[in-house]
Structure 1
Amino acid sequence: MPVSQSAEEHLKLDGISVSFGAVNVIPSLDLSVCKGEMVALLGPSGCGKTTTLRMIAGLISPSSGRILVGGRNITRLPIHDRDMGMVFQSYALFPHMDVLRNVQFGLQMRNVSKQDIEQRSKEALELVQLGQLAQRKPKELSGGQQQRVALARALVIQPSILLLDEPLSNLDAKLRDEMRLQIRALQQQSGITAVFVTHDQVEALSMCDRVVVMRNGRIEQFGTPTEIYERPATAFVANFVGRTNRLKGTVGSDGRLSAAGQPLRATAKLLPGPVDVLVRPHRIALKPSNGLAAAGDGNVVEGTMSGIIFIGDLVQYIVRAGGAEIVVEEATRRERPSLGVGDKVQLTWSPDDTLVYPDDDK
C-alpha cells in the first residue's frame, strides 16, 4: 500500500547543490521522503540521480544545503555515523569471504556482540531465503543470489535508511522481474525507508511508492507512479516515462488544436502557438479505414500502414499520417483482422489521452 502523504517525514534534502569545479551538477534540490516509503530517483544518464544518492550516503559532500534524517542534520557526518545501508550496482561482496561472513561484516565493524551477530546474520539470510548457502563464496552464486546477499548485508545492520544504486542492472530480464518483487516485498516487510536509483522506468513504477523524475540536476516531477504516468507535468516526463508518440502541432488563436494534418481534441486548456502533442501507443484504437469519420467526440486520424512489428505479447503497428509516424500497440490477439503494409487505416483515441505541452524545441 502507498505510504500516506501525511506520514512522518524521515529524509529531507533542503536546498542541496553540488558542483565539481566549474560544473554545477545539481543547482538546487529539495526532496522529502516519508518514513517507510520507497522512492525512486529516475532519469537518464547524467541527470544527477546517482550523485544525489551518494550525497545521502555521505560519499559526496554537497556544496550547499542540508541533509536531514528524522530532523537531525547529518550533512557533514562521516559515512559510518549515518546509519544507512547501501546496495551497490556491482554488489561489492568480499570474494574471499563466504556468504555468512559477508553478511556479518557490518555488524563486526559496529562491535555488536558475538551472540547478536550470529542471530541477526542468520535472520537476515533467512529473510532473503539464502540460509542454506551460508558457506558458499560469492563466485559460487548466481547473480540473483549475490544480489540477495548484498541486500542481507545492508539490512542486517538495521539501518535507518536503505540506499540502492541500480542494483538490478547486471541481471537478465527474467531475473530482474523476480528481484523487483523480492526487493519490494523485503522493503515492505521490514518497513524501512528506501531510496532507489534507476534509469529503468519499469523498476521505478512497479517498485516504489513515489517517483522522482530528474533532468539536468533538477526535479521535473515528484509523484506516485500513477501521477507520473497518467499526468506527466512536462513533455520530458511524458517522453521518458512510458512509450509515447510525439507529434508537432499548433494551437490557433481560436484555441483549436491540429497535428498530423488533422484537427484534434484535448481536455487541457490550450494557449495559442506551437505545441508538442503526445499520445500513448496503447491508448490508440486501430481499424481498417472505410473513408468515414468515426462517430463521437474522439480524435480520428486517417493514415497508411507502413510497418508491423511482432514482439510476442505486443504487436506494434506503424502508421504514416499527415507527414508524421504514429505507433499503435495492441496485445497479441488471434482473432485480429488481417492488416498489411500499404493498407488504409483509421486511428481513434480519446481527448483525455491527448497530452499537449508547449513546443520544447523552440
Structure 2
Amino acid sequence: MMLERNMTASPSRTAKVAEDHLVLSEVGMTFGTADVIPSLSLAVRRGEMVAFLGPSGCGKTTTLRMIAGLIAPSRGRISVGWRDITRLPVHERDMGLVFQSYALFPHMTVSQNVAFGLEMRGIAKREIRVRVETALEMVQLGHLSDRKPRALSGGQQQRVALARALVVEPSILLLDEPLSNLDAKLRDEMRVQIRSLQQQSGITAVFVTHDQVEALSMCDRIVVMRGGHIEQFGTPGEIYEHPATPFVASFVGRTNRLSGVVEPSGRLAAAGQGLLAEGALPVGQVQIMMRPHRVALLAAHEHVPPGHNALRGRLTGITFVGDLIQANVRVGEDEITVEQPTRRSTALPLMGAEVTVSWEAGDTMVFAGGAT
C-alpha cells in the first residue's frame, strides 16, 4: 500500500504548466559581494526525479535550500505548479526534506519520529496511526516501530527519515546527499529502494549529490553544476554520451584526454597520428576525450577494424582493481588508461611493450582547445 497525494489540477492551467511542476526562473543568490549563483533557470517535471550533481562549492546545496525555503534567494522566482513560493516560509511549501544527517529525534521511537510532522499539522490521531503504519510498511520497518534511533543501523535510520518525509504526502521530496553516511553496500541498496519508492508514489523529487553513480542510476534527468552555473541539463544518457563541455565529460564518468589538432581540411590528429570522429569538428587546437572502458588494448601490430581509431604507444603500468584491470599507455606526451574486465585467461603485454590502443570513431569526443 502506497501513500498517494490527492491532487486536482486547476482547469485554467495548461498542459505545459501541469507538466512543469517545480520551476526556477532566473534565481540567484549573493553572499556579501559574491554571486554564489548568478542566475539559474530550470523546470522539473511532475513525477520525475532530478539530480543536482557537481563538486563541493558548485551551488547545488544552496539551490536546494532556496527551493526548501531554508534561505531566501536574492533574486528570481520559484514556483510549484502555478503557485509562487519564493517568499513562503518552510512550513507552507508542502515539501518533504531528507537530510544527510537523518535528523531523527533520539528520545522518540520510530513511529513517533514518523508521526511528528502529522501531529504538527493537526491531523487526527486515528489517521496519524494509519498513515504512519502505511509509511513504515512502505520502507519495510513496520516491525521496528517501537525502537529508538540508536537501536537502528544507518540504513534503517535513513529509511525512517524517508518515511517521515513521505508520510505528510508532500508535493515535492527534497533529498540532500542522503546516502553519503552509508557504506558502499548500503548505498547500493538504498539507491534502489529510494528510486523504487519515488517511482511507485509518483512524487516529484530533487536529489543533491556529488556522486555520479547516484545521479546516473537514480534520476530521470541530471543538472550538472559548476561555479553556480548549469553546465548541462539532460537525461543520464545525454549527459554521459554527449557531454556539453570537457568538465561534464570528466566529472560524469572517467575519461582520457589527449591534446590534438583539427586541420583546416577537417583532419583530426593527435601524437602525429590521424584519428576518426563523428560530426562537425572545431578547427584548431582541440581536446580529445574517450571513455577508458571503451578503449581496447591490442598488440602493436594487431588488426584494427574499420571505423576504429588506433594509436601506438608503450605500456607503462597495470593496476588490478578487482573486477577491472587498468592499463596505462604512454602516447606521445599524453597517457591513455584502458579498462577491461578481469579474466583468468587474459594475458597482458609485458611492461614497456609497444601496444596499440583502439576505440570506435563514435566514442571520440572533441572539444575546442580552450573549452573547460
The TM-score by the shorter chain falls in which range?
over 0.9
1:323 aligns with 2:338: no
Instruction: Report what 1:19 is aligned to.
Output: 30
1:149 paired residue among 160, 171, 179: 160
- Range with bigger deviation, 172-181 or 280-289: 280-289
Q: For the Cα contact (< 8 Å) 1:9–1:33, is it kept in 2?
A: yes
How far apart in 1 are the matches of 2:168 and 2:142?
Answer: 17
Note the C-alpha offset of 1:162. 0.1
Q: For the Cα contact (< 8 Å) 1:235–1:360, is it kept in 2?
A: no
1:298 aligns with 2:300: no
How do 1:173-252 residues align onto structure 2 when only pairs under 5 Å count? 173-252=184-263
Instruction: Report what 1:357 is aligned to.
Output: 367
1:161 aligns with 2:205: no
How far apart in 2 are the matches of 1:359 and 1:142?
Answer: 49
Q: How many residue pairs are counted as aligned between the two chains?
A: 357
Instruction: Report what 1:343 is aligned to.
Output: 353
1:36 paired residue among 26, 41, 47: 47
- Supply the AA of the counterpart residue of 2:87: R
How far apart in 2 are the matches of 1:96 and 1:360?
Answer: 56
What's the secondary structure of 1:158's corresponding residue?
Answer: coil
- Supply the AA of the counterpart residue of 1:97: M
- Range with bigger deviation, 215-224 or 258-267: 258-267
- Supply the AA of the counterpart residue of 2:357: L
How far apart in 1 are the matches of 2:118 and 2:369?
Answer: 54
How far apart in 2 are the matches of 1:295 and 1:101?
Answer: 64
Instruction: Report what 1:289 is aligned to.
Output: 300
1:126 paired residue among 129, 134, 137: 137
- Supply the AA of the counterpart residue of 2:346: R
Unaligned 5+ residue runs, structure 2? Answer: 1-14
- Supply the AA of the counterpart residue of 2:150: K
How far apart in 2 are the matches of 1:201 and 1:262?
Answer: 33
Note the C-alpha offset of 1:135. 1.0
- Supply the AA of the counterpart residue of 2:344: R
How far apart in 1 are the matches of 2:371 and 2:335?
Answer: 18
Q: For the Cα contact (< 8 Å) 2:282–2:367, is it kept in 1?
A: no
Note the C-alpha offset of 1:272. 1.6
Note the C-alpha offset of 1:233. 0.9
TM-score, normalised with respect to structure 1: 0.96
How far apart in 1 are the matches of 2:164 and 2:307?
Answer: 57
How far apart in 1 are the matches of 2:272 and 2:294?
Answer: 20
Deviations along 1:50-88, one digit per CA (max 9) or x if unpaired, are: 000000000010111100101110000000000000000
Note the C-alpha offset of 1:341. 1.1
Note the C-alpha offset of 1:295. 4.7
Over the matched positions of the two proteins, sequence identity in percent amounts to 64
Q: For the Cα contact (< 8 Å) 2:26–2:77, is it kept in 1?
A: yes
Note the C-alpha offset of 1:293. 6.3
Q: For the Cα contact (< 8 Å) 1:248–1:275, is it kept in 2?
A: yes
- Range with bigger deviation, 255-264 or 280-289: 255-264
Q: For the Cα contact (< 8 Å) 1:43–1:215, is it kept in 2?
A: yes
- Supply the AA of the counterpart residue of 1:334: R
1:139 aligns with 2:150: yes
How far apart in 2 are the matches of 1:146 and 1:160?
Answer: 23
- Supply the AA of the counterpart residue of 2:370: D
Q: For the Cα contact (< 8 Å) 1:251–1:274, is it kept in 2?
A: yes
Q: For the Cα contact (< 8 Å) 2:246–2:371, is it kept in 1?
A: no
How far apart in 2 are the matches of 1:110 and 1:55?
Answer: 23
RMSD (Å), alpha carbons: 1.4
TM-score, normalised with respect to structure 2: 0.93
How far apart in 1 are the matches of 2:342 and 2:19?
Answer: 45
